[in-house]
Structures are given as C-alpha cells and as structure tokens.
Structure 1
Amino acid sequence: MSQEDNPNEGKEIAADGTGIVAPDDETPTWSERKQRTEGLPRLTYEYFERARREDQDLRIESDYVERDVLAFPAWPHEMVRNLALTSFFVGMMVFLAAALPPHIGAPANPSSTPAIILPDWYLYWSFGLLKLGPLNPELALLGGQQLMADRTYGVVANLVVVGFIAIVPFLNKGSARRPVEQPFWAAVGVGGVVYAVTISALSVKNLLPMDSNLLLDLTFLLPFVAGFISYAVFKSMREGYMFELNRRYYRLRPPK
C-alpha cells in the first residue's frame, strides 16, 4: 500500500486524541471516519479516547467533588419498577402455594435405610466428585496400592475444584462485561457450567439408563467440547461485535 492510498501512514498518534478523534465542533461522516482508521485497533482507540475526553470534560465542568452522576432517580423510577416486579413474583408464589399445595408424604422410618441416598440437588456436583474412585491411581511404587482412600480422593477433588473457582477472579482481571470480549474466559465459564451438569449426572448414575463407564467418559469429555465450541463462536463474533460497538457509539454519542 502506497503513501497516497493510506494518508495516515507514518503519522504519530497524539496523546490528547487529536488527529484521530474528530474535533468537538465536527461530526465526521462514515467515509471520513473510515479514512481516519486503520482496522479494529485504531477504531477501538477512537472509542476509548473519546470516552476519556468526555469524562474529563465532565470532571472539569462539574461542581461536584467527583463528577456528575447521570442516572435515573431511585424514586419513583427504580422503586416503582422494583415494587411491581416484587409484587408479581410474590403473587405467583402465593397463587402456586394455594392452588398446588405440596404433598406431604408419610413419616420416614428410622429403622430402615433408603435404597438411594442423595443430597439436595444443588450439591449434586460435590456428591459426584466423591464418586471419582475409578480415577484414583494405583501406584507401582506402593506395590499397586492407592496413595489415598477413595473417600479421601473425593474430598481432595472437591478442594481442587473449589480452589480453582476461587482463584479464577484473580487470574482474570480484565474489564470485559460480555463473553464476546474475552472468548477464552467465556469458554472456561461454559466448560465449567457443563462440567457441573455432567458431574451432577455422575452423582445420580444409579438413576440414569446409561453405562457407568460411558457416563464417566462423557463427564470429562463434554466440558472440553463445549469449551472449544464456545471459544470458536465467541472468537468469530468478536471483531464484528467491536465494530458494531464503535459504530453505535458514534451514532448515540456524536461529538459535541
């Protein structure tokens, strides 16, 4: 590409955004904005530079200590909406409780043990981790014996999973608010959700009409498949999303 084809080649980007971001008294057309850009990085720079400059103008012009807060007042806008939603859901719960009362079964027999003992449904994933005994390795150094008991192995698996969930916020310190902005971490989240579902299914394998070995394989295979597919989809959507985000910014917040 020659110098005439790309007039922005070799120009230095000013720190205050001049030369790329249009002046305050000018509303650039689409063709003019296209001439000022060099792909997605330059367009993204324009977006954040414009936001930074407008935020700085608000701070300078404001009499408030920090900045003007531009939002809807809590009363009546937010309160009326929240009260309406709360009344709707409370009314639905009262209606269901009156129309469909829960059936209370016979008292439990303390002298007999149920055939299948399960925790509450939201703890199925933890209960499934306790059933990872087939993955407990037998070490040759110990004469073919296991390093730890299956129950201890399940407890350690719970600690590993909970520990990984706890350190994810420290590993991902980005400012993205949508999955398409960070495809990798979005794929990690999708894989984690799928793993929670599959490990929960493993915990109730006695109730599923499926081979236990196949279910164990799918428990660890499906999360990776879902993660790879999610990453590919979000990655392909990212450039188009950023392009539309910047174009929408120019439409909704034109220069002053």
Structure 2
Amino acid sequence: MDSTARRRPAGGETTTGRPETDGGSTDVRGDGGGIVPADRTPTWAERKARTTGLARLTYEYFERSRHEDEVLREESDYVERDVLAFPTWPHEIVRNSAIASFFVGMILFLSATLPPHIGPPANPSSTPAIILPDWYLYWSFGLLKLDPINPELAVLGGQKLMADRTFGVVANAIVVGVIALVPFLNKGSARRPVEEPFWAAVGVGGVLFAFTVSILAIKNLVPMNPNVLFDLTFIAPVVGGVVTYAVLKTMREGYMYDLNRRYYRLRPPR
C-alpha cells in the first residue's frame, strides 16, 4: 500500500492538510487548525462544545507517534541516542566535592560564630506543663491525640477496644503504611498535577491533613475551640482534595488541547 494513502487522514481531509468542505462544515486539520484561530486560546465553553475535535486531535497525536516509531525501527537496526554529559572523574567528582565543601564550611562557620544558646539544666523533680517534640514530628504527635474517635463498643460494656495510647500508635502505623503504598498504587508517568487530577487531590489532601493534625498536636497553644479544631483536622483535607480535583479536572481538557496543538506546531504532519 502506498505510504501516502496510508497516511491520508479520515474525515475528508486532503494530504496537504486542507480540509474539504461539505455544505459549509469544516473538519479538523492535522496541524491543529480548523477548531479555533491559531493565535487565540479557546475558552472553556468552546472546548466543551468541541470534545470531538479534542478526541480526534489526541487520536492523531498517538497515531503519528506510533507511525514514526515504526519508520525509525525499519530504517535502522538500533536507535542511536546522543548523550551529552561529563565523565564522572574528574569533572563530576571535583564539582560535587567543591559544592559539599562549601556547605560544610558554611555550617562550621555558623556553628563557630553563632553557637546555640544552652539553657539551664533540666529539673528532674518537675515535669514541664507542655511537652512537645520537634516541629517536624508534630503530625505524629497529633495522631496520639485522636482519642475522641477511639470507638467504644457496647459489647464491652461501653469500654474502649484499646487504650488511647495504643490507638494513637495504630493510627501512626496506618498513616505511614498508606504513604508507603501510594508509590505502588500510582504507577503512571504523569509529571504535572493536571495530568492526574485524582492523585494530585490525594497529595493535597495528605499535605493538608499533616498540617491540620500538626496544629492539633499544639492545641493548647492555639486560641481556638478544641472541638472546632478537631473537626477541622478531618474536614479541611477532604474539602481541599475535592476542590483540587474539581479545578484540575476542569483544566485538564484545555491542557491536553494546548499540548497537542503545540506538538503539531513544532512537528507538522508529513
């Protein structure tokens, strides 16, 4: 079969990229034209009204990629890739050593000129009123204060299934386990949040939960009703995740359209 005929697009489009007209209707061109003027970004309403054009453009994008890959494999026995880089020795080793030495020198300089203040020794006979860990462990300390949601079972006479401290430890194990499973569940190749709205929403919800549960850990220092603060700990992450998903889902169609149109501008169809 002739290669020209094999690459001839469907839908009345000529090989020159000019759409054929039938009763005044204009088909989608392979170069991304025929939908909106090339010098103007389509509005949200225009994109929603032309979902067929977006699907057609996406289909042609993948078909062109597949065809070029087949042609490349037929023309050569191997794929030659030009890798521009510097050798590990001595270029990379010397450069990394210089950078590491600079930052180590800055740390030694600051520790010598601005030594940390050492307070009075701790009194073993008195316990501080507020005991807090380092700030980056507030989220874990906040999970130890989830005793209001520790279930009380009627079959146990209204007693709790486990102690509040044990419940907090189990909550830490569950949260860390979920974080460890996310890379195995999301195996996509997306690099931008708009390409994966769901997982982007999960990430935003997780960050908000870490922030709100950290505030819960220092609720004694926050001028807010403890009950309201406890409710916001779980409501804010859910609301943030839903809003993120809705916004990215709305932006995704326009993003894919602009991506495909940019591809055809840089690499016009043969």
Q: Same fold (TM over 0.5)?
A: yes
Change in CA separation of 1:167 and 1:94 when aligned onto 2, cut-off 3 Å: closer
Change in CA separation of 1:114 and 1:177 when aligned onto 2, cut-off 3 Å: same
Match of 1:32? 29
Report if the CA contact (8 A) 1:131-1:154 is conserved: yes
Change in CA separation of 1:172 and 1:136 when aligned onto 2, cut-off 3 Å: same
Report if the CA contact (8 A) 1:187-1:230 is conserved: yes
Change in CA separation of 1:171 and 1:87 when aligned onto 2, cut-off 3 Å: closer
Deviations 1:120-166 (A, max 9, x none): 22221111111101111211111111011001111111121122222
2:119 to 68, 92, 106: 106
Instruction: Kindly indicate whether residue 103 of structure 2 is the aligned counterpart of residue 90 of structure 1.
Output: yes
Instruction: Kindly indicate whether residue 7 of structure 2 is the aligned counterpart of residue 18 of structure 1.
Output: yes
Consecutive unaligned residues of structure 1, counting only runs of 5 or more, are 1-16
Rounded to whole Å, the distance in 2 between the matches of 1:102 and 1:74 is 40
For these two proteins, the number of residue pairs brought into alignment is 233
Query: Share of identical aligned residues, percent?
Result: 60
Amino acid of the structure 1 residue aligned with 2:7: T
Change in CA separation of 1:96 and 1:230 when aligned onto 2, cut-off 3 Å: farther
Change in CA separation of 1:242 and 1:70 when aligned onto 2, cut-off 3 Å: farther
Rounded to whole Å, the distance in 2 between the matches of 1:120 and 1:162 is 18
Q: Which moved more, 1:212-221 or 1:51-60?
A: 51-60
Amino acid of the structure 2 residue aligned with 1:150: D
Rounded to whole Å, the distance in 1 between the matches of 2:161 and 2:212 is 26
Instruction: Kindly indicate whether residue 233 of structure 2 is the aligned counterpart of residue 233 of structure 1.
Output: no
2:225 to 207, 211, 214: 211
Amino acid of the structure 2 residue aligned with 1:32: R
TM (normalized to structure 2)? 0.72
Instruction: Kindly indicate whether residue 129 of structure 2 is the aligned counterpart of residue 115 of structure 1.
Output: yes
Change in CA separation of 1:235 and 1:132 when aligned onto 2, cut-off 3 Å: same
Deviations 1:84-127 (A, max 9, x none): x9489839945982797253222532514333222222221111
Match of 2:40? none
Change in CA separation of 1:220 and 1:59 when aligned onto 2, cut-off 3 Å: same
Match of 1:253? 267
Q: Equivalent residue of 1:32, what SS?
A: coil
Q: Equivalent residue of 2:29, what SS?
A: helix
Amino acid of the structure 2 residue aligned with 1:74: F
RMSD of equivalent CA atoms:
3.6
Runs of 4+ in 1 over 6 A off after TM superposition: none
1:74 to 57, 65, 86: 86
Change in CA separation of 1:118 and 1:172 when aligned onto 2, cut-off 3 Å: same
Change in CA separation of 1:70 and 1:164 when aligned onto 2, cut-off 3 Å: same
Match of 2:24? none
1:201 to 199, 211, 215: 215
2:153 to 127, 134, 139: 139
Rounded to whole Å, the distance in 2 between the matches of 1:106 and 1:170 is 46
Match of 1:126? 140
Report if the CA contact (8 A) 1:27-1:254 is conserved: no
Match of 1:43? 57
Deviations 1:162-191 (A, max 9, x none): 222222233323232211112111111111
Rounded to whole Å, the distance in 2 between the matches of 1:134 and 1:43 is 53
Match of 2:3? none
**RCO greater where, 1 or 2, for CA within 8 Å and sep 6 or more?**
1
Match of 1:7? none
Which aligned pairs between 1:152-163 and structure 2 lie closer than 5 A? Answer: 152-163=166-177
